[in-house]
Amino acid sequence: MGLAIDASCDLPQEFLQKHRVAIMPITVRLDSEVFMDARNPAEIQRFIDRRLGSRSHSAETEPCPVEEVQKLFLEKLVLEQDCVFCLTITATRSPINENVNKASFAILKNYRQVREKAGVPGPFMMRVVDTGNVFTGAAPAVCEAARLIAANESPSTIRERLVHIASHSYGYMLPRDLIHLRNRIKKRGDRSVSLLSAMVGTALDIKPILRCFRGETSPVGKVRGFDQGAEALFGYVARRVRAGLMVPVVCISYGGDLEVLPHLPGYTELRQACAECGVELMEAPMSITGMVNVGEGAVTVGFAAEEHEAEF
């Protein structure tokens, strides 16, 4: 059994390599340049080094099309695995989930002759799971999938568990540049941050803390200044860690160099809480797509827990 995710699911490169996670890439067009967002560390660093996230208001992002999903599966994955769990970011934010579901019809129709030609016996299955989240909010379901595959659980058991974890996954984001964020979400028809809120927030240095849960994104708190926002967010996550998580993982992504994270207020407390509770703290660079859409320097945090109210 194997795993496939789309590039905007923020997870560390070490994890992706260890579990041989296939990446469905996203094409990013910025002015005259084209970036292939496939969670390639060198490509992400090239984007960061050139500070392109700060001028990406007009960038266009194109999730992996149906034909490319079919190609990935029929030329590679159906030959390497008997069952692939394909986890995508929420269908309310991207057409990637729809593209994968459409591709699955052709994949399941044509895999037999591909496998027979290569001398690979037996049937092939693929299961598509909408994580209902974005960025690191998709990480808990992916991590749980890797654990269950390693434990050799049945496909039906794994899928049932992943749907449950996805419905209890929380993704939080603290942006730096509200005007950039507002311009990008307006382009997608989203109204999570209004123009007035962005202008007032920028003038007064007030940052919203946004939450994605079950496909819906909304502000759940606001703070004065990015550093105070980081301290509030990390402190909140530390309390949730101590209250108990459904998957012993907290994943954090940053829209820039990861060396910044340990210096943010509240990060040491979060790291201590995770160590005390046996929770793995994973750090990942934000995808190029993420930096284009929410701006450089944003922080996202994802974990899975019993349903609760945000307290900021």
* Cβ atoms < 10 Å from Cβ of 93: 21
* Whether 270 and 131 share a structural domain: no
Closest C-alpha among 296, 297, 288 to residue 62: 288
Query: Do residue 209 and residue 156 come from a single domain?
Result: no
Final residue before a domain boundary, out of 99, 132, 167 = 167
Contact 290/135 with Cβ under 8 angstroms?
Answer: yes
H or E stretch covering 216 = strand 216-224
Q: Which domain holds residue 196?
A: 170-304
Q: Does 60 share its domain with 190?
A: no
Burial class of residue 305, CB neighbours in 10 A (0-12, 13-18, 19+): middle
CATH number at residue 47: 3.40.50.10170
pTM for this structure? Answer: 0.91
Strands 216-224 and 206-213: antiparallel
- Domain-located, residue 112: yes
Q: Which one of 167, 191, 220 terminates a domain?
A: 167
Tens-binned pLDDT, residue by residue, of the chain (312 aa): 999 999 999 999 999 999 999 999 999 988 788 889 999 999 999 888 887 766 655 778 899 999 999 999 999 999 999 999 999 999 998 999 999 999 999 999 999 999 999 999 999 999 999 999 999 999 999 999 999 999 999 999 999 999 999 999 999 999 987 655 555 555 555 555 554 454 444 544 678 899 999 999 988 998 988 999 999 999 999 999 999 999 999 999 999 999 999 999 999 999 999 999 999 999 999 999 999 888 889 999 999 999 998 888
For residue 310, being part of any structural domain is answered with no
Hey, what are 119's tokens?
Answer: 């001398």
Q: Is residue 231 part of a domain?
A: yes
Look up the CATH number of the domain holding residue 291: 3.30.1180.10
